[in-house]
Structure 1
């Protein structure tokens, strides 16, 4: 999706370097230093305008949240919301979240959120799906033992593919919801901007999974 460039974005990001990182590789293994308190770190890949991660940070002050987004004009909007919120447990990262193992140290992340990722529907693009085996392997490198991955989408084809992908990779499902908004799970659900807009058109699918270590 083409995003209209915001002339103020670059300078705003530079003015709030305490809340946003543009050179993430400098912080590998040291992300706790970006936060006021040492707490479990949870990461959302592709935050859009930040609605989900900011609400999660409000609800869970005992967790540190990192939001990754590659589009400058989009993350600048999210940054403005973070500044206005006054939250000290959320940081943003302007970069491509495709290679998380090059952004975090081993076991540095306790949970990952994949919300409404690009479905890449064509067969030749399967490897680009964020739930394909190649990406799952990178997630395991940065997740703590049995760290969770929460995945939401409104694309049934992608969800079915993802269920198979997680299962074949050896993940254990903590929960699978075929219509999240009509389930008990929705009581604690935090919506993204996209979800809020498109949930009226069809069901939202969700899974939560972890990789159980063999004993």
Structure 2
């Protein structure tokens, strides 16, 4: 389904090359050079209107963030949110890039071990069994993420779909991945102030719907630190 937007969207996003990347494949393996530093790179796959990635990047200037979606209109809206977040929180946009890309071909724009964290927020659940391979937590996608993540790599996943959450638990487990901080109702005791909400998440919370969340520990160093914290009783 094509997302409708106002006229002149392409011209508007093309006029923001310092923030919006329309040809990301040419930066594969060179994203640190694009940012001009070797700070960790965190990516949101399917950023929607950009509230989550905009606020997160504004609050964490020592981390580089990339928001990805495939629609020009969403890139335009995310750019607006990014600039508004900087006005509210201060700082500049140097640690954020918004990228147009079909996530199915994510390996074409990132090299092995180039990323530290991947966020999957309220991805399309594709409820029909015949569409299971399109789910962003299908093993076919997760294997790509494993390759793209470095030794501190993690996947943070949130959804309102119980069926997708159950599918994802099995998908991660089948690949032998360690999970932590699993929650079936993230905001049961009130909004988690330590986590940024997406647009969908805010709406679902206001409707009283439970949010499911988990973190997947992928990288060897991340896993070692996690196991050490368990032994220490943290």
Partner of 2:105: 99
Question: Does the Cα contact within 8 Å between 1:178 and 1:205 map onto a contact in 2?
Answer: yes
Q: Give the superposed CA RMSD.
A: 1.9
Quote the residue 2:49 is aligned against.
Answer: 49
Deviations 1:67-125 (A, max 9, x none): 00101111111112324423221111011122222210110000000000000000101
Task: State the distance in 2 between where 1:184 and 1:89 align.
Answer: 30
- Report whether the alignment pairs 1:209 with 2:216: yes
Q: Which runs of 5 or more structure 2 residues have no equivalent in the other structure?
A: 87-91, 225-234
Q: In 2, Cα distance between the equivalents of 1:154 and 1:165? A: 17
* Gaps in structure 1 of 5+ consecutive residues: none
> 1:185, 1:147 → 2: CA distance?
26
Q: Give the aligned partner of residue 177 of structure 2.
A: 171
Per the normalisation by structure 2, the TM-score is 0.86
Q: Does the aligned pair in 1 maintain the 2:204–2:210 contact within 8 Å? A: no
**Conserved? CA contact 1:180–1:204, under 8 Å:** yes
User: What TM-score comes out, normalization by structure 1 length?
Assistant: 0.93
CA–CA distance in structure 1, aligned partners of residues 143 and 179 of structure 2: 16
**Alpha-carbon displacement from aligned partner over 1:122-176 (angstroms, at most 9, x marks no partner):** 0101111000110000001110024100000000000011011101111101220
Aligned residues: 215
Over alpha carbons, which structure has the higher Rg?
2
Shift, 1:186, TM fit? 2.0
Structure 2 equivalent of residue 151 of structure 1:
157
Residue aligning to 1:26: 26
Q: Is the 8 A contact 1:154 1:199 kept in 2?
A: no
Greater mean deviation of Cα atoms: 121-130 or 195-204: 195-204
Aligned to 1:188: 194
